[in-house]
A and B are shown apart, each in its own frame.
Chain A
Amino acid sequence: MSLMNRPYFRTRIAENTRLSPSACKIVFERPEGFADAFPGQFISIRVSEVTVPLLRRPFGIMDLSSTGISALIKVIGPGSSILAAKRAGEEVEIAGPLGGVPFDRPGGEGVVFVAGGTGLGPVIFCARSWKRENISCKTHLFIGAQTKEELLDGLYRDDFSFIYSATIDGSAGYKGNIVELLEKEIDKGGIPSELLYSCGPKAMVRALVDRTGSKFKNHYTSLESVMGCSLGACRGCTVPAIEDGKKVMRSVCLEGTVFNSEAIDWEEWK
């Protein structure tokens, strides 16, 4: 049976590079028919041919060329571990590009990105795509990690106009979390206040909403949630939102991944 012409592919790993104890960059051969993608979109990967782990795992697209699709993989559990251990040449099944709402191209003076943990890949894709499209606005990356090693700074050094980093252990950059650093830099001045794009753990995004929400005109965030179908069918990955004053459930896979942070019902989403 042929799955050709369907957004579901059997492809091969072209490269797998270990970047730190907990992260690797995987480049997949771009299968024929894999559509052009936008920042904030993702691929869903079947990491194992057996039924443990059962579900495919979603990973944001970090870059896309005519021959390759790359993703940044943080190793946090069984699925990501299996993926990180795969070698060049191994076959995997992927679906994509998925995600109905990507990050918009920015206008204006500049955009502030805040990335933590698993959220770095999509943010890198933003910076790279817009550079290729000659969008002139300045990009400010705020990146947080546990240690210097986990900042992975070699990966994105040339992609952003300005980079501000924070580590929890203080081994590089500001000692503390990335939201504190952003607050401090806003107080100092020089940070554009138009647009904030965030991607990372829920706790980080929540802290941004609570502590820097009023400092930006708009805050868009790419969310994560456990996914079943990743196509908008099963309603498994929904987050509570408020639209026109009404409480609704929105799927991260199709109605996101990117949401206006004001639309999310943060009180409900604990």
Chain B
Amino acid sequence: MGGVEVTDNKDIRLNIGRSVFENPVFLASGPAGYGLEYINYIDMRKLGGVVTKTISFEPRAGNPGVRLQETPSGLLNSIGLENVGAELFFREKMALLASAGIKLVISLAAEDWDDYRRLIGYVAERDNIEIVELNLSCPNVERGGMAVGTDPDLLGKYVRLAKELLPETDILAKLTPNVRDIGGLALAAEEAGADGITAINTIVGMDIDLSSSKPVFKRVRAGLSGPAIRPVALDAVWKISRTVKIPVIGVGGISSVDDALKFFMAGAAGIQIGTAIFYDPGLPERIIERLETGGIPSRIEYLTGKTERIEDGGKAGDNSGAGCREQG
């Protein structure tokens, strides 16, 4: 990280809408659960914030069968959004998290439009919900999830409802990379009023168990995370941050302090750490220390040749992910 240029501005706070975070480093939704289990491992109060495990209106048991499978520098997961449901979360976990001094971003997902209305309506009745992250991109569920996140019109409709029913709450839209034009989706979210974009969720993948000649996962396809997806995530951040004006939170494969710096240089305003906390729970705090001493690296502004085309709304992107309609 020796040669990285840094801004002389040592103020590393991050603003998303009206929300202010002490620093731009978050735990990503999922790997850390609701944050409580990691309290002895990570000093949560030092983090910019913790994005909770995605909450649905009804509790979800998650997927049966094998849920994790390692790949070279990566991890396939098929958790299936197991969570305690909105009622229990807001009644019990929220208070515990707040009393532990954890700054929360609440991740939300729904199965369909009615379920979504019900969930957002429920959240609207709660007090002091500063910011939510709409998970419009989970590959591991039958309905909802990625289907919404791959259609700009639908995505816009979902974001608009959240803005309407939660006027006091800032909205992050979390996007899937399993699309042709992630820049276009980010733009749709921005136009619908999103206060920021989180990218990326996991990339669809699969594996086969040779001993049984069957797919490893019952749902066959699973979500890939970890260092293996870092270049894809970095590219998504690069494209999105050149397409929208709202802050972009980069997530995907960040596994070292240097990785984190690259995301800021690609255009991220903040970052989230997911899979890496499984093997290196000290990483988020090391990144924060580096930012505190060295500032946030400047976004790379110069563009040459081919990459310049990325400026035109991400349309030039050739992120040929799996065809989205095949999912779930």
Contacts and interface: CB of A to CB of B under 8 A. Distances in A.
A227 B70 CA distance: 10
Interface stretch (B13-21, B36-44, B153-161, B240-248): B36-44
A244 to B, nearest CB: 15
A233 B281 contact: no
Interface string B217-259: 0000000001100000000000000000000000000010000
Contacts of B79: 234-236
24 contacts: A1-B282, A6-B40, A7-B40, A8-B281, A8-B282, A51-B279, A52-B72, A54-B227, A54-B279, A56-B278, A226-B66, A228-B31, A228-B77, A229-B31, A229-B38, A233-B37, A234-B33, A235-B53, A235-B67, A235-B79, A236-B67, A238-B67, A240-B64, A249-B61
A254 interface: yes
Residues of B contacting A: mostly = loop
Given A1-B285, A7-B40, A268-B64, 20 more contacts: A6-B41, A7-B41, A51-B73, A54-B70, A54-B227, A55-B75, A226-B66, A229-B37, A231-B38, A233-B34, A234-B30, A234-B33, A234-B278, A235-B53, A236-B67, A236-B68, A237-B68, A240-B64, A247-B61, A249-B61
B32 A229 contact: yes
A233 B73 contact: no
Residues of A contacting B: mostly = loop
Interface centre among B33, B73, B226, B278 (most CB of A within 10 A): B278
A268 B61 CA distance: 14
A71 to B, nearest CB: 18
A55 B61 contact: no
A76 interface: no
Contacts of B53: 235
Interface of A: 1, 3, 6-8, 46, 51-56, 95, 226-229, 231-238, 240, 247-249, 254, 268, 270
Contacts of A247: 61
Given A6-B41, A8-B281, A233 B82 contact: no
Given A3-B282, A54-B227, A55-B278, A231 B37 contact: yes
Contact of A238 (B38, B72, B82, B281): B82
A16 B114 CA distance: 59
Contacts of A7: 40-41
A18 to B, nearest CB: 26
A237 B67 contact: yes
A226 B69 contact: yes
A249 to B, nearest CB: 6
Interface centre among A51, A226, A232, A249 (most CB of B within 10 A): A51
B286 interface: yes
Contacts of B64: 240, 249, 268
Contacts of B289: 1
Interface centre among B35, B69, B281, B286 (most CB of A within 10 A): B281
A121 to B, nearest CB: 22
Contacts of A55: 68, 70, 75, 278-279
B278 A229 contact: yes
A226 B32 contact: no
B286 A1 contact: yes
Q: Which 3 A-B pairs have the closest CB atoms?
A: A233-B33, A233-B37, A236-B68
B62 interface: yes
Contacts of B23: none
B227 A51 contact: yes
Interface in B36-86: 36-38, 40-41, 53, 61-62, 64-70, 72-75, 77, 79, 82
B33 A232 contact: yes
A249 B75 contact: no
Contacts of B82: 235, 238, 249
Contacts of A268: 64
Given A1-B286, A8-B41, A268-B64, A235 B33 contact: yes
